[in-house]
Chains A and B, each alone.
Chain A
Amino acid sequence: MEFFIGHYNYWIVIILMMVGLYTVISRGNLVKKIIGLNIFQVSVFFLYISLGTVKGGAAPIITEGVKVYSNPLPHVLILTAIVVGVATTALALALVVRIKESYGTIEEDEIHNLDHSL
Protein backbone atom coordinates (compact mmCIF):
# COMPACT_ATOMS: atom_id res chain seq x y z
CA MET A 1 0.00 0.00 0.00
CA GLU A 2 2.82 2.39 0.82
CA PHE A 3 4.52 1.52 -2.46
CA PHE A 4 1.25 2.23 -4.27
CA ILE A 5 0.78 5.65 -2.66
CA GLY A 6 4.44 6.47 -3.15
CA HIS A 7 4.31 5.78 -6.87
CA TYR A 8 0.69 6.57 -7.77
CA ASN A 9 1.61 10.10 -8.89
CA TYR A 10 4.26 8.86 -11.27
CA TRP A 11 1.97 6.22 -12.76
CA ILE A 12 -0.74 8.80 -13.46
CA VAL A 13 1.94 11.04 -14.97
CA ILE A 14 2.87 8.18 -17.30
CA ILE A 15 -0.78 7.54 -18.21
CA LEU A 16 -1.27 11.23 -19.07
CA MET A 17 1.98 11.24 -21.03
CA MET A 18 0.92 8.20 -23.05
CA VAL A 19 -2.58 9.58 -23.66
CA GLY A 20 -0.96 12.74 -25.02
CA LEU A 21 1.46 10.77 -27.19
CA TYR A 22 -1.36 8.56 -28.49
CA THR A 23 -3.43 11.62 -29.41
CA VAL A 24 -0.51 13.15 -31.29
CA ILE A 25 0.29 10.07 -33.36
CA SER A 26 -3.17 8.60 -33.95
CA ARG A 27 -5.46 11.59 -34.51
CA GLY A 28 -5.45 13.47 -37.79
CA ASN A 29 -7.05 16.72 -36.69
CA LEU A 30 -4.34 19.36 -36.14
CA VAL A 31 -6.11 21.14 -33.26
CA LYS A 32 -6.52 17.80 -31.52
CA LYS A 33 -2.84 17.04 -32.03
CA ILE A 34 -1.95 20.34 -30.32
CA ILE A 35 -4.21 19.46 -27.40
CA GLY A 36 -2.42 16.09 -27.18
CA LEU A 37 0.91 17.89 -27.02
CA ASN A 38 -0.47 20.08 -24.23
CA ILE A 39 -1.59 17.03 -22.23
CA PHE A 40 1.91 15.59 -22.62
CA GLN A 41 3.35 18.88 -21.43
CA VAL A 42 1.14 19.04 -18.33
CA SER A 43 2.18 15.49 -17.43
CA VAL A 44 5.81 16.63 -17.39
CA PHE A 45 4.82 19.50 -15.08
CA PHE A 46 3.29 16.95 -12.70
CA LEU A 47 6.44 14.83 -12.79
CA TYR A 48 8.55 17.80 -11.68
CA ILE A 49 6.16 19.07 -9.02
CA SER A 50 5.71 15.52 -7.63
CA LEU A 51 9.47 15.12 -7.34
CA GLY A 52 9.68 18.41 -5.43
CA THR A 53 6.96 17.63 -2.90
CA VAL A 54 8.06 16.87 0.68
CA LYS A 55 5.75 15.02 3.06
CA GLY A 56 4.44 17.47 5.70
CA GLY A 57 6.14 20.34 3.93
CA ALA A 58 4.65 23.81 3.50
CA ALA A 59 4.59 25.93 0.35
CA PRO A 60 8.05 27.50 -0.12
CA ILE A 61 7.19 30.87 1.42
CA ILE A 62 9.30 31.68 4.49
CA THR A 63 7.00 31.75 7.53
CA GLU A 64 7.70 31.90 11.27
CA GLY A 65 7.57 28.50 12.90
CA VAL A 66 7.61 26.41 9.72
CA LYS A 67 10.54 24.02 9.52
CA VAL A 68 9.86 21.89 6.42
CA TYR A 69 9.33 23.40 2.97
CA SER A 70 8.72 21.81 -0.39
CA ASN A 71 11.51 22.07 -2.92
CA PRO A 72 11.16 25.50 -4.59
CA LEU A 73 13.38 24.79 -7.59
CA PRO A 74 10.98 22.56 -9.61
CA HIS A 75 8.31 25.22 -9.01
CA VAL A 76 10.51 27.86 -10.63
CA LEU A 77 11.30 25.63 -13.60
CA ILE A 78 7.66 24.74 -14.18
CA LEU A 79 6.49 28.32 -13.78
CA THR A 80 8.78 29.21 -16.66
CA ALA A 81 7.72 26.12 -18.63
CA ILE A 82 3.99 26.94 -18.39
CA VAL A 83 4.49 30.42 -19.80
CA VAL A 84 6.79 29.23 -22.59
CA GLY A 85 4.30 26.42 -23.28
CA VAL A 86 1.51 28.90 -23.95
CA ALA A 87 3.79 30.84 -26.29
CA THR A 88 4.53 27.70 -28.31
CA THR A 89 0.84 26.70 -28.29
CA ALA A 90 -0.06 30.12 -29.68
CA LEU A 91 2.51 29.68 -32.45
CA ALA A 92 1.20 26.19 -33.28
CA LEU A 93 -2.39 27.45 -33.44
CA ALA A 94 -1.32 30.31 -35.71
CA LEU A 95 0.27 27.73 -38.02
CA VAL A 96 -3.03 25.80 -38.02
CA VAL A 97 -4.92 28.94 -39.06
CA ARG A 98 -2.46 29.49 -41.93
CA ILE A 99 -2.75 25.85 -43.02
CA LYS A 100 -6.52 26.16 -43.04
CA GLU A 101 -6.25 29.28 -45.24
CA SER A 102 -3.92 27.61 -47.73
CA TYR A 103 -5.39 24.11 -47.86
CA GLY A 104 -8.97 24.63 -46.73
CA THR A 105 -8.75 21.81 -44.20
CA ILE A 106 -7.05 20.95 -40.93
CA GLU A 107 -7.20 17.17 -41.39
CA GLU A 108 -3.81 15.58 -41.83
CA ASP A 109 -4.87 13.00 -44.47
CA GLU A 110 -6.70 15.60 -46.57
CA ILE A 111 -3.61 17.81 -46.53
CA HIS A 112 -1.50 14.85 -47.66
CA ASN A 113 -3.99 14.17 -50.46
CA LEU A 114 -3.80 17.80 -51.65
CA ASP A 115 -0.03 17.58 -51.65
CA HIS A 116 0.00 14.15 -53.31
CA SER A 117 2.55 13.25 -50.65
CA LEU A 118 1.00 9.99 -49.55
Chain B
Amino acid sequence: MIDIVIDITLLAFLAITSVAIVRMTNLFAIVMLFGIFSLLSAGLFVVMDAPDVAFTEAAVGAGISTVLMLATLALVKRPQKPYYGEAPQSHRAWLPLIVVAVTGSALVYGTWDIPGFGAPDAPAQSHVARYYIENTMQETGVPNIVTAVLASYRGFDTLGEVTVIFTAAVAVLLLIGGKRSKPAVKTNKKGEQDEA
Protein backbone atom coordinates (compact mmCIF):
# COMPACT_ATOMS: atom_id res chain seq x y z
CA MET B 1 0.00 0.00 0.00
CA ILE B 2 2.77 2.44 1.00
CA ASP B 3 4.40 1.61 -2.34
CA ILE B 4 1.35 2.90 -4.17
CA VAL B 5 1.22 6.11 -2.11
CA ILE B 6 4.93 6.85 -2.79
CA ASP B 7 4.43 5.99 -6.45
CA ILE B 8 1.47 8.35 -6.84
CA THR B 9 3.17 11.19 -4.94
CA LEU B 10 6.46 10.97 -6.84
CA LEU B 11 4.70 10.76 -10.20
CA ALA B 12 2.66 13.85 -9.29
CA PHE B 13 5.90 15.70 -8.38
CA LEU B 14 7.33 14.61 -11.72
CA ALA B 15 4.37 16.00 -13.64
CA ILE B 16 4.53 19.30 -11.72
CA THR B 17 8.28 19.60 -12.35
CA SER B 18 7.83 19.02 -16.07
CA VAL B 19 5.12 21.69 -16.31
CA ALA B 20 7.38 24.09 -14.39
CA ILE B 21 10.17 23.36 -16.90
CA VAL B 22 7.89 24.33 -19.79
CA ARG B 23 6.70 27.54 -18.16
CA MET B 24 10.10 28.80 -16.99
CA THR B 25 12.21 31.15 -19.09
CA ASN B 26 15.52 31.16 -17.20
CA LEU B 27 17.64 28.46 -18.86
CA PHE B 28 19.83 27.91 -15.79
CA ALA B 29 16.77 27.27 -13.62
CA ILE B 30 15.38 24.95 -16.30
CA VAL B 31 18.55 22.86 -16.33
CA MET B 32 18.52 22.65 -12.52
CA LEU B 33 14.86 21.59 -12.57
CA PHE B 34 15.76 18.95 -15.13
CA GLY B 35 18.35 17.60 -12.68
CA ILE B 36 15.62 17.39 -10.03
CA PHE B 37 13.37 15.70 -12.60
CA SER B 38 16.02 13.02 -13.21
CA LEU B 39 16.59 12.48 -9.50
CA LEU B 40 12.83 12.04 -8.92
CA SER B 41 12.82 9.52 -11.79
CA ALA B 42 15.62 7.59 -10.11
CA GLY B 43 13.58 7.46 -6.89
CA LEU B 44 10.57 6.19 -8.81
CA PHE B 45 12.61 3.46 -10.47
CA VAL B 46 13.57 2.20 -6.99
CA VAL B 47 9.88 2.13 -6.00
CA MET B 48 9.12 0.16 -9.17
CA ASP B 49 11.72 -2.53 -8.24
CA ALA B 50 14.29 -1.45 -10.81
CA PRO B 51 17.40 -0.57 -8.75
CA ASP B 52 19.83 -1.01 -11.66
CA VAL B 53 17.88 1.47 -13.76
CA ALA B 54 17.73 3.84 -10.78
CA PHE B 55 21.52 3.77 -10.37
CA THR B 56 22.02 4.50 -14.04
CA GLU B 57 19.45 7.29 -14.10
CA ALA B 58 20.89 8.93 -10.98
CA ALA B 59 24.47 8.78 -12.27
CA VAL B 60 23.92 9.39 -15.96
CA GLY B 61 20.62 11.27 -16.12
CA ALA B 62 20.92 13.50 -13.07
CA GLY B 63 24.72 13.68 -13.14
CA ILE B 64 26.28 13.66 -16.58
CA SER B 65 23.28 15.15 -18.46
CA THR B 66 23.08 18.13 -16.10
CA VAL B 67 26.82 18.74 -16.33
CA LEU B 68 26.68 18.59 -20.14
CA MET B 69 23.79 21.07 -20.23
CA LEU B 70 25.51 23.46 -17.82
CA ALA B 71 28.66 23.26 -19.95
CA THR B 72 26.59 24.10 -23.01
CA LEU B 73 25.01 27.09 -21.25
CA ALA B 74 28.50 28.32 -20.32
CA LEU B 75 29.68 28.00 -23.95
CA VAL B 76 26.52 29.51 -25.42
CA LYS B 77 26.59 32.53 -23.06
CA ARG B 78 22.92 33.12 -23.51
CA PRO B 79 21.63 36.67 -23.55
CA GLN B 80 19.80 37.59 -20.39
CA LYS B 81 16.62 38.70 -22.12
CA PRO B 82 13.91 36.30 -20.99
CA TYR B 83 12.14 36.37 -24.30
CA TYR B 84 12.67 32.74 -25.19
CA GLY B 85 9.72 31.84 -22.99
CA GLU B 86 7.44 33.04 -25.75
CA ALA B 87 6.71 30.95 -28.77
CA PRO B 88 8.33 32.09 -32.00
CA GLN B 89 6.05 34.33 -34.02
CA SER B 90 5.97 31.79 -36.83
CA HIS B 91 4.01 29.45 -34.54
CA ARG B 92 0.50 30.10 -33.38
CA ALA B 93 0.12 29.49 -29.66
CA TRP B 94 -2.93 27.26 -29.99
CA LEU B 95 -1.66 24.96 -32.73
CA PRO B 96 0.85 23.00 -30.58
CA LEU B 97 -1.79 22.80 -27.82
CA ILE B 98 -4.31 21.23 -30.20
CA VAL B 99 -1.75 18.76 -31.56
CA VAL B 100 -0.75 17.78 -28.03
CA ALA B 101 -4.37 17.49 -26.82
CA VAL B 102 -5.40 15.27 -29.72
CA THR B 103 -2.34 13.02 -29.43
CA GLY B 104 -2.74 12.82 -25.66
CA SER B 105 -6.41 11.85 -25.85
CA ALA B 106 -5.65 9.13 -28.39
CA LEU B 107 -2.95 7.74 -26.08
CA VAL B 108 -5.26 7.88 -23.03
CA TYR B 109 -7.88 6.02 -25.04
CA GLY B 110 -5.19 3.42 -25.75
CA THR B 111 -4.50 2.86 -22.04
CA TRP B 112 -8.01 1.46 -21.50
CA ASP B 113 -6.86 -1.92 -22.77
CA ILE B 114 -3.54 -2.05 -20.90
CA PRO B 115 -3.59 -4.54 -18.00
CA GLY B 116 -3.53 -2.69 -14.65
CA PHE B 117 -0.27 -1.55 -13.07
CA GLY B 118 1.49 -4.54 -11.48
CA ALA B 119 -0.93 -7.20 -12.76
CA PRO B 120 0.88 -10.55 -12.37
CA ASP B 121 -0.98 -12.15 -15.32
CA ALA B 122 -0.13 -9.40 -17.83
CA PRO B 123 1.20 -10.67 -21.19
CA ALA B 124 4.55 -8.99 -20.54
CA GLN B 125 5.07 -11.22 -17.48
CA SER B 126 4.05 -14.58 -18.91
CA HIS B 127 6.39 -15.32 -21.81
CA VAL B 128 10.13 -14.99 -22.09
CA ALA B 129 10.69 -13.11 -18.81
CA ARG B 130 9.88 -16.27 -16.84
CA TYR B 131 12.69 -18.16 -18.57
CA TYR B 132 15.31 -15.67 -17.43
CA ILE B 133 14.01 -15.62 -13.86
CA GLU B 134 14.07 -19.43 -13.62
CA ASN B 135 17.29 -20.24 -15.47
CA THR B 136 19.70 -17.32 -15.05
CA MET B 137 21.25 -18.69 -11.84
CA GLN B 138 22.06 -22.13 -13.31
CA GLU B 139 23.21 -20.84 -16.69
CA THR B 140 25.37 -17.88 -15.75
CA GLY B 141 25.86 -17.99 -11.97
CA VAL B 142 25.05 -14.28 -11.70
CA PRO B 143 22.31 -13.55 -9.14
CA ASN B 144 21.42 -10.17 -10.65
CA ILE B 145 19.28 -11.04 -13.67
CA VAL B 146 19.60 -7.59 -15.25
CA THR B 147 23.39 -7.81 -15.18
CA ALA B 148 23.31 -11.37 -16.50
CA VAL B 149 21.12 -10.42 -19.47
CA LEU B 150 23.10 -7.26 -20.18
CA ALA B 151 26.57 -8.76 -20.06
CA SER B 152 26.04 -12.44 -20.79
CA TYR B 153 22.90 -13.30 -22.78
CA ARG B 154 22.89 -10.03 -24.70
CA GLY B 155 26.60 -9.22 -24.60
CA PHE B 156 26.71 -8.37 -28.29
CA ASP B 157 23.89 -5.86 -27.87
CA THR B 158 25.95 -4.15 -25.19
CA LEU B 159 28.88 -4.11 -27.60
CA GLY B 160 26.58 -2.39 -30.10
CA GLU B 161 25.65 0.12 -27.40
CA VAL B 162 29.33 0.88 -26.86
CA THR B 163 29.63 1.43 -30.61
CA VAL B 164 26.80 3.98 -30.45
CA ILE B 165 28.47 5.86 -27.60
CA PHE B 166 31.82 5.77 -29.42
CA THR B 167 30.19 7.18 -32.54
CA ALA B 168 28.55 9.95 -30.53
CA ALA B 169 31.85 10.79 -28.81
CA VAL B 170 33.67 10.97 -32.14
CA ALA B 171 30.91 13.17 -33.59
CA VAL B 172 31.04 15.55 -30.59
CA LEU B 173 34.82 15.81 -30.90
CA LEU B 174 34.56 16.51 -34.62
CA LEU B 175 31.93 19.20 -33.99
CA ILE B 176 33.42 21.17 -31.13
CA GLY B 177 36.78 19.60 -30.29
CA GLY B 178 40.21 20.34 -31.65
CA LYS B 179 41.47 23.52 -33.27
CA ARG B 180 38.88 25.46 -35.19
CA SER B 181 39.94 28.67 -36.80
CA LYS B 182 37.83 31.34 -35.13
CA PRO B 183 38.20 33.89 -37.98
CA ALA B 184 36.82 31.39 -40.45
CA VAL B 185 33.64 31.15 -38.42
CA LYS B 186 33.40 34.94 -38.22
CA THR B 187 33.91 35.52 -41.94
CA ASN B 188 31.30 32.87 -42.53
CA LYS B 189 28.83 35.10 -40.74
CA LYS B 190 30.14 38.38 -42.16
CA GLY B 191 30.81 36.95 -45.60
CA GLU B 192 27.16 36.13 -45.93
CA GLN B 193 26.27 39.78 -45.52
CA ASP B 194 29.06 40.89 -47.85
CA GLU B 195 27.86 38.61 -50.57
CA ALA B 196 24.31 39.81 -50.09
Contacts and interface: CB of A to CB of B under 8 A. Distances in A.
Interface in B38-62: 38, 41, 44-45, 48-53, 56-57, 60-61
A70 B48 contact: yes
Nearest to A69: B133
A6 B84 CA distance: 39
B49 A107 contact: no
Contact of A75 (B53, B76, B93, B107): B53
Contact of B53 (A55, A78, A118): A78
A96 to B, nearest CB: 6
A75 B116 contact: no
| Residue of B30, B158, B172 most packed against chain A (CB within 10 A) | B172
Given A15-B15, A26-B87, A7 B76 contact: no
A72 B145 contact: yes
A60 B84 contact: no
B114 A76 contact: no
A81 to B, nearest CB: 9
A38 B65 contact: yes
Interface in B100-154: 100-101, 103-104, 107-108, 111-112, 114-120, 122, 124-125, 128-129, 132-133, 136-137, 143-146, 149-150, 154
Given A59-B49, A63-B143, A32 B111 contact: no
A61 B84 CA distance: 47
The interface residues of chain A, by DSSP majority, are classed as helix
A37 B75 CA distance: 21
Given A12-B14, A97-B76, A101-B185, A79 B100 contact: no
A79 B154 CA distance: 13
Given A9-B7, A39-B18, A69-B133, A83 B185 contact: no
Contacts of B137: 62
A60 B143 CA distance: 9
6 contacts: A20-B18, A26-B93, A29-B27, A51-B122, A87-B167, A98-B175
Interface of B: 4, 7-8, 11-12, 14-15, 18-19, 21-22, 27, 30-31, 34, 37-38, 41, 44-45, 48-53, 56-57, 60-61, 64-65, 68-69, 71-73, 75-76, 78, 84-91, 93, 96-97, 99-101, 103-104, 107-108, 111-112, 114-120, 122, 124-125, 128-129, 132-133, 136-137, 143-146, 149-150, 154, 157-158, 161, 164-165, 167-169, 171-172, 175-176, 185, 188-189, 192
